[in-house]
Amino acid sequence: MIYFFKTTTSLQFLSLLILAVLLNLNLWVIPPTAIPAEGAAPLGRLVVQALQNYPMHGLWVLYVLGLCLQAWLIQILGNRFNLYKKTSILPAFCYLVLTGLINTYMFLSPAYFMVFVVIWLLFLIFGNLQTHLLAPAFDVGFAVGLGILIYAPALPLALFVFVALTIVRTFTWRVWMVALFGLLIPHFWVATWYFATDSLHLLLSHYGGELIATSPVPSLSSQNEVWIKLGLLTVLTLWTIALLRTEFLKMPVQTRRYFNVILYAVSFALYAFLVLPDAAWHPASLFLVPFSLFLAYLYTETSNLWYSESLNVLILAVLFYYQYVSFLPF
């Protein structure tokens, strides 16, 4: 399967659509009773409320098509900025597989829509390496500010903005100030709306009231799920970093900076995931995009195809177990 997705053809894009359907078939068979709203900030709440009244099977089609769009954008991101030695569709493939691990928490939730913002953010940050203008730095801050209005646990990405800009640009206080203005302006607009509608007292509760999942405390089986999935992702991360370390100095300087940004994106997203108690898996959406780019590098650069295929089979086995087998009565 890895070998098949190492090139880019129209057949592979059709295969991605089929893969997206198969990896999320559990949501068709056992549809959610409601759209997950954990972590919803003001804009995220509006989106969830707008979608709640539609039939779940229709929303499933929208969800799968959105996943394919996200995967396609991630594939463009990896190939446009030459993160890999040759063009491939592996970033999109990795994203679909990783999303399948947590799709019950992602189903058209604020975390799902936040993925679009993360993709946009990485496009903007990578683009800052090719310019000395101040406006692109404003765009980076604005993207994160808008993302926090959709999904409150994305707040740690506000700090990531300044770290990333320091990596891709020469540090000047003007760049940081412009990025800070971009970060604050969406929140200023929202605060103005709450003030104009005489509901300013609701502002903080609408930002943070949904941070903690309203589901019961996870059972022992779900705790096992957390440890197994986190353990698998940790092994993949360490393996990728070890491989990246051996090839890092051979890369162009520009590509090194891109991978530094990706590594910090994974780190800040992981912090957002770990800092929220009983928050289930929805904050994991923040590191799906950078981790997909990481995992695609591992699959691309691993010379032994048997290792790559074995890893992929292991991920799919964990995915299949927690999507289907864990619900069987035994």
Residue 126: Cβ-neighbour burial (10 angstroms; 0-12, 13-18, 19+): buried
Report the candidate in 219, 235, 224, 214 with the shortest Cα–Cα distance to residue 295. 235
Q: Which amino acid is at 204?
A: L
Mean pLDDT, contiguous 10-residue spans, the chain (330 residues): 68 83 86 80 85 86 92 90 83 89 84 92 85 84 90 86 87 87 88 78 61 40 68 79 76 84 85 65 81 85 75 81 62
Measured distance CA(182)–CA(81) in Å, rounded: 24
- The pLDDT assigned to 68 comes to 92
128 with 168: CB under 8 angstroms?
A: yes
- The pLDDT assigned to 129 comes to 74
286 with 157: CB under 8 angstroms?
A: yes
Q: Write down the pTM of the prediction.
A: 0.86
Cα–Cα distance list, 186 to 42, 132, 147, 150, 154 (Å): 11, 24, 10, 11, 14
Three-class secondary structure of residue 151 per DSSP:
strand
